[in-house]
Chains A and B, each alone.
Chain A
Amino acid sequence: MSVIELLSGNQALARGAWEAGVQVAAAYPGTPSTEVLESLAPMDGVYAEWSPNEKVALDVAVGAAYAGRRALAVMKHVGLNVAADSLFYACMTGMQAGLVIIVADDPGLHSSQGEQDSRRYCKFARLPCLEPSDSQEAKSLVGLAYELSERFDTPVMVRSSTRISHSYGLVELGARVVRQDDEDQTRLVRNPGKYVMVPGVARRRHPIMEERMEAIAAFADSLDENRVERRGNAVGVVTHGIAYQYVREVMPDASILRLGMSYPIPAETVARFAAGVDRLLVVEELDPVIEEEIRLLGVACEGKRLFPIVGELSPETVRAGFVRAGVLTETVESVDDGTERAAELPARPPALCPGCPHRGVYAAIHKLGLAVNGDIGCYALGFMPPLSAVQTIGCMGAGIGQAHGVAAAEIGERSVAVIGDSTFFHSGMPALLNAVYNQQAVTVIVLDNRTTAMTGHQDNPGSGSTLLGETTTQVDISAVAGAFGVRHVETVDPYDLDAVEAALRHAVERDESSVIVARRACALAPEARADRSPLAVDSSKCIACGRCLVLGCPALCTDAEVVSEHGKATTRIDALLCAGCGMCAQICPVGAIDLAAEVVR
């Protein structure tokens, strides 16, 4: 009897890799890709790891595939930028066993610094791209990806998106395949003519890669996953991924060519499909990748003229595009899009959690008025008012290098960078090394909460355990800084506001680089949650000065009642939210916030 389970796209991708017999998998966590490896790690017969960054993860997967074992690397779209160098050589060499790279894009930027279309890399680096439209396909396309990888000796990209990765659907589970090759290979293949990418060898590999792409393009026409659904002749829609579902939803009568392989496209199938319909529309999320390829075939089509190039598609935007095209009439009832209401209601942007240790560092930065180069993680939220403590955020590991540049520009501003522990290991370390080596005075504050918090508490080289749950070496950040030659390294508890401020004042005075490690577990870590005792405001003492509100803590709010004496409302603490960190009590000038409040939780 078949087993059917409700799985997220990411869980299904992991299941697909497992059923395909994957043996080695590596990733760096990044929304929306993170749960792929978290789901795969507990499965039998798989070695899975968090690597310090995506480039290292891809190299690990490539090495395993050179060693004849099916391998997987997983990353978010911007992670592929980090791994791009490795992607290009892997496409040149090919492997001994299947190599699949799962890349999850984030159209709509739910949790990213940019929305780029990873399919562009497929044309650039020369590899095929498979795109699932739901969880069931997320599973099956990973299996297909391994077959293609081995048949054509190429890495294969399986491209997901936030909506595929984080949507759940029913999936029929299958068994894990047992590969004969796994028994055969016992030593690394010696084949420098294929695997040593010096110019003379690489020059010979380039035409092989081009011929391979032509062969895959020809094969694409026979692929079942490039599926034609014939309905009417008036409109034909070429689509992919999640966009397919929106097209089915809003234009149930349209003929559809759903590309399960969106690069290279199946030329004959497209031409035949186009010939059978009056109008050919292309509905794709983000870039006009399919549209451009169809135009290159000399086939007329309409795409980005009708459907947005920016942001995540939705049933609404796809409907609007069809209405614009004149193939769908607008629904009669005026749909409330909430615009008017939204203008009236207060926004609720994400905020640093109550009890977040980063808040202590940002309070000191705010107080001293320092201009800080930030980085990628929860602590990016420090840019928001009222703390407004971060002035730049670019990409993983960029902040220290930027602060270094500010120092080199000699404008008189103190150079300060904040970076999380996991981001420090990811790509912050070379930048710190650079600051020391080139003798710039940069103060680097490592927000060391012992975990990769933003993506949901994944382990990292500082956490002392691995993805497989094994205890391992816990890298000491202050020792790393010392080894790089930083002479002033200080560790502080970010809950101690006076200590943080003193450390910061001391560090920025120096004319050499310095490191402050602000060390305390994430407020959402189980150990931190275990002993929470919420605080309360003594309203008879509160003078409504509002100083505590500078912390921007979600647990602090002002009472509705305005105290006539001050013309302001007193502060109240939401006991359901308060983590009891005590930062507001340290700031309160009249001792109105007490550490001993009994509240039902």
Chain B
Amino acid sequence: MSRRETVQALRASHGLCFCLVGVGGQGVLLAADIVAHVGVRLGLDVKKAEVHGMSQRGGSVVSHVRWGDKVHSPLIEQGRADYVVAFERLEGLRHVGMLAPDGRLIISDHRIVPVTVTCGGSVYPTEDTERRLLGAASVAPTFVPSVSAAQVLGMARAHNMVILGTLAASLGDGTWPWEAVIAQRVPSNSLDTNLAAFRAGLAFCSQRGVDVA
């Protein structure tokens, strides 16, 4: 489906809801900012919700972005997100309940071990646990090697752009208007690397034959 058709379909329906999750310091809020501004460029009503302050200090971070003809609540209801976009593995698992029955999970394969595991006796979920929980929620995840892909480009921090590339591909958007928005929202001295990371995400999606919208 072309971008135009995607947008038309979107206009005809309830809009699109994105739930972006990760760990404080990972660049989740910047990524959400980009998704929101892409919606604005598409001529849609957009709302974005996020929380600042204490929760950002290495804790779980969640941002909701909604596109539509007219968006009321900035918060997405449980079970109504079209996309959960996870920048960390455990955080993706934590929020799969946000997904609508036909929603998609785009998830980094990167693990950040919380202090509760290091010193608190909790266990980071094994791949078996992961499969069981995702299976129970009937979710088929798209795992993205975001950090290793960004490390190849020499900037691990740009992993969030890899994930956004995968999201853009899944939406059937290609590079427009994503790259224009990224150019506006990331510092100019790291723009080339960020764009390369975004394209790596796009390419990953097509290589894997990931079903696009």
Contact = CB atoms under 8 A, between A and B. Distances in A.
A85 interface: no
Given A6-B40, A31-B52, A337-B78, A353 B113 contact: no
A185 interface: no
Contact of B23 (A167, A335, A348): A348
Interface of A: 6, 31-32, 34-35, 110-111, 134, 162-163, 166-170, 242, 245-246, 248-250, 314-316, 319, 333, 335-338, 341-342, 344-353, 378, 380-381, 384-386, 454-456, 549-550, 552-554, 556-558, 574, 576-577, 600-601
B77 A456 contact: no
A347 B50 CA distance: 19
22 contacts: A6-B48, A31-B54, A111-B54, A163-B75, A246-B72, A249-B72, A250-B77, A315-B73, A335-B97, A338-B94, A345-B94, A346-B116, A346-B117, A346-B124, A348-B60, A348-B90, A348-B116, A349-B59, A349-B115, A350-B24, A351-B58, A351-B115
Contacts of A248: 72-73
A295 to B, nearest CB: 28
B154 interface: yes
A391 B78 CA distance: 36
Please classify how large the interface on chain B is, using the bins under 10, 10 to 19, 20 to 34, 35 or more.
Answer: 35 or more
Given A32-B52, A342-B94, A455-B53, 18 more contacts: A6-B40, A6-B48, A34-B52, A111-B54, A162-B51, A167-B48, A245-B72, A246-B73, A246-B75, A338-B94, A347-B122, A348-B90, A351-B115, A353-B57, A378-B57, A385-B119, A455-B52, A600-B151
Most-contacted residue by chain B among A248, A333, A600 (CB, 10 A): A600
B132 to A, nearest CB: 9
A34 B97 CA distance: 32
Interface in B115-167: 115-120, 122-125, 129, 133, 137, 147, 151, 154-157
B97 A336 contact: yes
A6 B36 contact: yes
Interface string B87-125: 000110111110001000000000011111111101111
Contact of A110 (B40, B53, B79, B124): B53
Contacts of B76: 315
Nearest to A133: B72
Interface in B2-33: 23-25
A44 B53 CA distance: 28
Nearest to B90: A345
Nearest to A338: B97
Contacts of B74: 163, 167-169, 242, 245
Nearest to A247: B72
A385 B120 contact: yes
A168 B47 contact: yes
Contacts of A549: 118-119
B179 interface: no
Contacts of B116: 346-349
A555 B158 CA distance: 19
Nearest to B113: A557
A248 B90 CA distance: 33
A577 B24 CA distance: 11
Given A314-B75, A341-B96, A574-B112, A346 B122 contact: yes
Contact of B52 (A111, A245, A249, A316): A111
B122 to A, nearest CB: 4
Contacts of B122: 346-347
B46 interface: yes
Most-contacted residue by chain A among B23, B55, B91 (CB, 10 A): B55
B78 A577 contact: no
Contacts of B73: 245-246, 248-249, 315
A315 B77 contact: yes
B119 A552 contact: yes
A166 B52 contact: yes
Given A168-B47, A169-B46, A577-B112, A341 B119 contact: no
A346 B119 contact: no
A166 B23 CA distance: 18
A111 B77 contact: no
Contact of A576 (B79, B101, B119, B156): B156
Contacts, number: 186
B95 to A, nearest CB: 7
Contacts of A342: 94
A337 B79 CA distance: 8
Contacts of B133: 341, 344
A338 B78 CA distance: 9
A549 B119 CA distance: 7
B153 to A, nearest CB: 10
B117 A6 contact: no
A341 B78 contact: no
A350 B72 contact: no
Contacts of A384: 115
Contact of A346 (B114, B137, B147): B114
A550 B120 CA distance: 11
A319 B57 CA distance: 32
A378 B79 CA distance: 33
Contact of B114 (A245, A249, A348): A348
Most-contacted residue by chain A among B46, B50, B54, B59 (CB, 10 A): B54
B37 interface: yes
Most-contacted residue by chain B among A110, A333, A346 (CB, 10 A): A346
A32 B53 contact: yes
B49 A350 contact: no
A348 B119 contact: no
B129 to A, nearest CB: 7
B164 to A, nearest CB: 17
A270 B97 CA distance: 39
A574 B113 contact: yes
Most-contacted residue by chain B among A169, A245, A248, A384 (CB, 10 A): A169
B57 A350 contact: yes
Contact of A111 (B53, B90, B94): B53
A458 to B, nearest CB: 12
B45 interface: yes
A342 to B, nearest CB: 7
Contact of B156 (A35, A455, A557, A601): A601
A243 to B, nearest CB: 10
Contact of A316 (B24, B77, B91, B117): B77
Nearest to A554: B58
A506 to B, nearest CB: 30
B117 A456 contact: no
A381 B45 CA distance: 38
Contacts of A454: 53-54
Contact of B97 (A337, A349, A557): A337
A264 to B, nearest CB: 27
A346 B129 CA distance: 12
Contacts of A166: 49-52
A31 B154 CA distance: 35
Contact of A167 (B47, B54, B118, B157): B47
